[in-house]
Amino acid sequence: MPVTPLHIGIPGLISYHNPKGVDIAAAIIGSVIIDTDFFLFLLFGTPVHGYLHSFLFATLVAIVLAGILYLLDPSMIRLKEWFCWETENSIKSLLTGAFIGAYSHIILDMLLYKEMNLLFPLNGNPFYVPGAALPVFITVYAVGGVSTIAFLTLYAKKYAAEKESNVLQ
């Protein structure tokens, strides 16, 4: 989706309901980092939905992201405490989060963009349906928009409740 932040909804909700099993930071960063393709486009002229919008590179991105977050362990724990988020910071929950984030991004995008080489090194996107563009576009935006609003609302309530209970302690 051109509106990258709408990609955080689905992985955010999955993580919200299973915070120990699905790392929130990995899920959210994984879901937006795929659009780094846009900066590669600006710098090198590669396609806007280029290499990172493929299962092969999304897999590599997820593994590298989980590894980096694992190495940043102490700072990630502090960051998550600050955001009032339960955390395991195990490599398993980091990998699960990063994969859910990265794959949910390309699964939503694959319905919208003909130019994606989803199964790189093979060319093309078998999931793009020519002629169904507008209804698919509206559906994908609705799913992204509603899930993002739901996630941010739930998170804001949880954050407020945690802060309040910290004040009362």
Q: Which residues bind Zn ion (CB under 5 A)?
A: 35, 109
- As measured in angstroms, the least distance from the Cβ of 168 to Zn ion is 42
- As measured in angstroms, the least distance from the Cβ of 117 to Zn ion is 13
- As measured in angstroms, the least distance from the Cβ of 55 to Zn ion is 13
Nearer to Zn ion, 7 or 80 (CB): 7
Nearer to Zn ion, 1 or 76 (CB): 1
- As measured in angstroms, the least distance from the Cβ of 90 to Zn ion is 28
Taking each helix axis from N to C end, the angle separating 55-71 and 91-110, rounded to the nearest 10 degrees, works out to: 150
Mind giving me the DSSP string for the chain? --SGGGGGHHHHHHHHHSTTTS-HHHHHHHHHHGGGHHHHHHHH---TT-GGGSHHHHHHHHHHHHHHHHHTHHHHHHHHHHTT------HHHHHHHHHHHHHHHHHHHHTT-TT--TTTTS-S-TT--TT-HHHHHHHHHHHHHHHHHHHHHHHHHHHHHHHHHHHH-
Residue nearest to Zn ion (CB): 109
Nearer to Zn ion, 4 or 90 (CB): 4
Nearer to Zn ion, 3 or 161 (CB): 3
In angstroms, rounded to a whole number, what is the distance separating the alpha carbons of residues 23 and 152? Answer: 16
- As measured in angstroms, the least distance from the Cβ of 96 to Zn ion is 21
Nearer to Zn ion, 23 or 109 (CB): 109
